[in-house]
Structure 1
Amino acid sequence: MLRFDHLAVSAETLADGVAYVEQALGVALAGGGQHPLMATHNRLLGLGDLYLEVIAADPDAPRPAHPRWFDLDRFTGPPRLTTWICGCDDLDAALQASPPGAGQPVALSRGEFRWRMAVPADGILPFDSCFPALIQWQGPAHPAPRLPDTGVRLRWFEIAHPQAEALRAALADRFADPRVQIVPGPTRAMRAEFDTPHGRRALT
C-alpha cells in the first residue's frame, strides 16, 4: 500500500516559493536544506501526519549531469503545486506495480534522515507528473513530527487531469486517502485546501 507522505510546491527560486506559501497560508516555514545529488534546496511546513515542501534549483550548487527531480529543469512561472509524494515499505515492489517511467531508486540522506526515492530518468513522472513520486523512508526519522506545529492541516488535495480515470486505475487497490481527489480536467492542475489558524486557505 501507498501512504500520502507530502506535497511539493516548486518555484524558480526558493525565496519566491517560501514567500508564496507563507503569504497564502499565513504561517512560517521551517527546516529544510540542500540535496547535493539533485542540486536543489527546500523549506518545509508540518501538516500533522504530512508535510509541505517548497523546492527549487539551488543556484549555489553545480548543475547535475542528470535531470533534477520534480521536473525542476523545465519549471518556469510562479510558484505552484507540482508534485505529491507517497510513502511505501518496499520501493522496488511499488515500482514494479507502477506505470512505466515512475523512476529508479536513488539512495539519499540529510542529517538524521535516510530515504530511497524513485527518480525518473527525465525528471518527469507519469501522467504529466500527476502520478505520485514514490519514497521509502529508512529508519524511524521522518520530517513531519520534527517540524513545528503551526496548526495547519490539509483538508483536501485535488488532482485534475485529462486521463483521470487511467490515473485512478493506476492507483487502485494501492492507495486510499479521503483527502485526495482525482478528477477529470482539460489540463493537469493541482489544488489543495488547508485549515489554518487564519481560516481555510488554498494553494494551487
Structure 2
Amino acid sequence: MPHCLIDHLTVTAPSLAAGAEFVRAALGVAPQAGGEHPRMGTHNLLLRLGDARFLEVIAANPAAPAPDRPRWFALDTLTPQSRPTLATWVARTADIHAAAAASSEPLGAIEPMRRGTLDWLITIPADGALPLGGVAPALIEWHTDAHPAAGLPDHGLALAGLELLHPEPERVSRLLRSLGLADAATVSAAATPAVVAHIDTPQGRRRLAVP
C-alpha cells in the first residue's frame, strides 16, 4: 500500500488578491508571494502550515499566455464573480506512479511541473476537473532537497484536521485507504462535495472551507 501524507491545501480564486483576502479573513494571516506555473498559465501565494505542509492560493495569471490545455484545479470554470474557496488538497508520495496505480479513483495523468527552481510530478486530469468534486487529492512527488514549506515564514499556523464531505462517503473512504491515507481525514456524507480544514492559529483554531 502506498504511504501518502497531506502536503498542502489548495484555495482557488478568480484572482490572487481575492484569494489572499479570503485567507486573511479566515486565518488572520495573509499568504506571501509564491511564483508562476508557465505550463498552466497560473500563479500562486503560499502560507506555511508546518515543516512540510502549506496552504496555496492559486489563480489564472492574467499576464501569462493561456495554456493549450485546460488549467488545473478547475480554474477555467471560475469567473471574475466567483468566490474563493478551499477547492481541494494535495497528498505527497515518494512514488507517484505506484500511488496513482493503487488509487481506487482515477486522479489524472502524471505531469512534470516547475515553479522557479522547484520541480515536481503531479496528477492532473486531462479536463482540468477536480476528482470527486475536489474531495479526492491530487498526488505530488517533490524533486527537491527540502520541502518547500521549510523556506516559508512561520506564522504559528498548523493544520489540526481535515474533513471531507461527499454524497458517497464510502467511496471517499475507499480512496483514502487505497492511498494509505485512512487516518488523514474524517469522511462524512453531504449533499455536495466539500473540503473543510481546521487550522490552529495564534488566535485559536479557525475553519477554512467553502464561503
* TM-score over 0.5 for the pair: yes
Encode CA deviations 1:18-69: one digit per residue, 9 max, x unaligned: 0110121111312411101000110000001310000011111111110111
Amino acid at match of 2:4: L
* Counterpart selection for 1:71 from 69, 74, 80: 74
Of the three residues 180, 185, 195, the one matched with 2:200 is 195
Q: How far apart are residue 99 of structure 1 and its match?
A: 4.0
Residue in structure 1 matched with residue 132 of structure 2 by the alignment: 127
Shift of the alpha carbon at 1:170?
A: 1.7
Aligned length: 204
Quote the residue 1:16 is aligned against: 18
Is 1:160 the counterpart of 2:165? The answer is yes
The 3-state SS of whatever aligns with 1:172 is: helix
Supply the RMSD in Å over aligned alpha carbons.
1.5
- Is the alpha carbon distance of 1:87 and 1:150 closer, same or farther for their aligned partners in structure 2, counting shifts above 3 Å? same
SS at 1:155 equivalent: strand
Match of 1:60 in 2: 63
State the SS of the aligned residue for 1:160.
strand
Q: Deviations over 1:115-152 (max 9, x none)?
A: 01111101123212311001000131321111100001
Aligned positions of 1:21-100 closer than 5 A: 21-48=23-50, 49-76=52-79, 77-99=82-104
Question: Which consecutive unaligned segments of at least 5 residues does structure 2 have?
Answer: none
Match of 1:145 in 2: 150
Structure 1: gaps of 5 or more residues: none
User: Using the alignment, how far apart are the partners of 2:137 and 2:166 within structure 1?
Assistant: 13
1:2 matched to 2:4:
yes
Normalised to the residue count of structure 1, the TM-score between the two structures is 0.94
Q: Distance in 2 between matches of 1:134 and 1:154?
A: 18
TM-aligned CA deviation for residue 156 of structure 1:
1.1
Give the match's secondary structure for 1:37.
coil
Percent pairwise identity: 45
Within 1, Cα distance between the matches of 2:70 and 2:57?
A: 18
TM-score (norm 2): 0.91
- In the TM superposition, what whole-angstrom CA distance separates every residue of 1:150-196 from its partner, at most 9, and x where no partner exists? 00111111110001111111221533374521211111112111111
